[in-house]
Structure 1
Amino acid sequence: MAASGDIEQFIEQNRHLSDIVESFRTISESDKHWESRRAFIFRNINDYEDPHLDHLLALSMVWANNVFLGCRYSQDLLDRVKEMAKGIVVEDAPVFKTRDEIVKNQQKR
C-alpha cells in the first residue's frame, strides 16, 4: 500500500486514536483487507468525527467490498469512496468482470 509510512507515522503520533480504529476491524478481515480499510479510515477520520463515525465506517466497508469482493453500488457512491481513497494503493487487488463483459467475451469465441 502506498504511503504506508505516512499511516505508520500518523499512528505513532495518535496512539489513542489508533487503538480506537483497531477496534473497528472485523473478525473476517485479512491483514491485507484491514490494512487497506484502516488506511481509508485514517485518511478520512478528521472529516467524520462523532457522531458521524458510523458513516465513515460504512463508507470504508463500501470501498473495501468494492475493491476486494467486487460488490457493486450506485455510481455516485462509488465515485465518492474512490475520491476518499485517492492515494491508497492495494497491491494485487483482484480484478472483477461484469456479467456483460463475460458474455461479450464468450460471444467473440
Structure 2
Amino acid sequence: MAELDIQEFIEQNRHLAEQVETYRGISESEKHWKARREFLFRNINDYEDPHVDQLLALSMVWANNVFLGCRYHPDLLEKVQEMAEGVVVVDAPVFKTREEIMKKQQGR
C-alpha cells in the first residue's frame, strides 16, 4: 500500500484503524511504527480474533529483522517477507553477519 492507499484504508476502516493504533509499542519510533502498521493493515483480514496475537508476533518478527537485524528460522523469515511484500521502508539499516565481517577482514 502506498501512503495514499494507507490513508484511504484508514478512512474507510476507521474502527479497524483505531484498533491497530493500540498495537503500537511505547518505544517504537515513528518510522518503525509506520512500517509495522502497514504490515498489520496488509494482513489483518487474515488474522482476525482470536488470531490477532499471532499477527502481532509476526509483525514484530518482521520489524525486528528489518530494523534490528534479528535472525530467525529461514522459513519464518520467508513467511514474514511474503506478508510484507510491498511495504517500503526508507533508509532501512543494513546488517552484516559476523561471518561476512570476518571474511572481509581475512581478505585484507
Query: TM-score scaled by structure 1?
Result: 0.97
* Percentage of pairs with the same residue: 72
Instruction: Give the equivalent residue in structure 1 for 2:66.
Output: 67
Match of 2:87 in 1: 88
Asked if residue 100 in structure 1 is aligned to residue 99 in structure 2, the reply is yes
Query: Which 4+ runs in 1 deviate beyond 2 A?
Result: none
RMSD value over aligned CA atoms?
0.7
How do 1:1-109 and structure 2 match up within 5 A? 3-109=2-108
Q: Using the alignment, how far apart are the partners of 2:12 and 2:61 within structure 1? A: 28
Match for 2:59: what amino acid? S
What is the CA distance between 1:37 and its match in structure 2?
Answer: 0.1
Instruction: State the TM-score, normalizing by the size of structure 2.
Output: 0.98
Q: How many pairs were matched up? A: 108
- Structure 2 stretches of 5 or more lacking a match? none
Alpha-carbon distance in 2 for matches of 1:97, 1:68: 13
Q: Cα deviation per residue 1:39-72 (whole Å; 9 max; x = unaligned)?
A: 0000000000000000000000000000000000
Quote the Cα distance in structure 2 between the aligned partners of 1:45 and 1:16.
Answer: 13
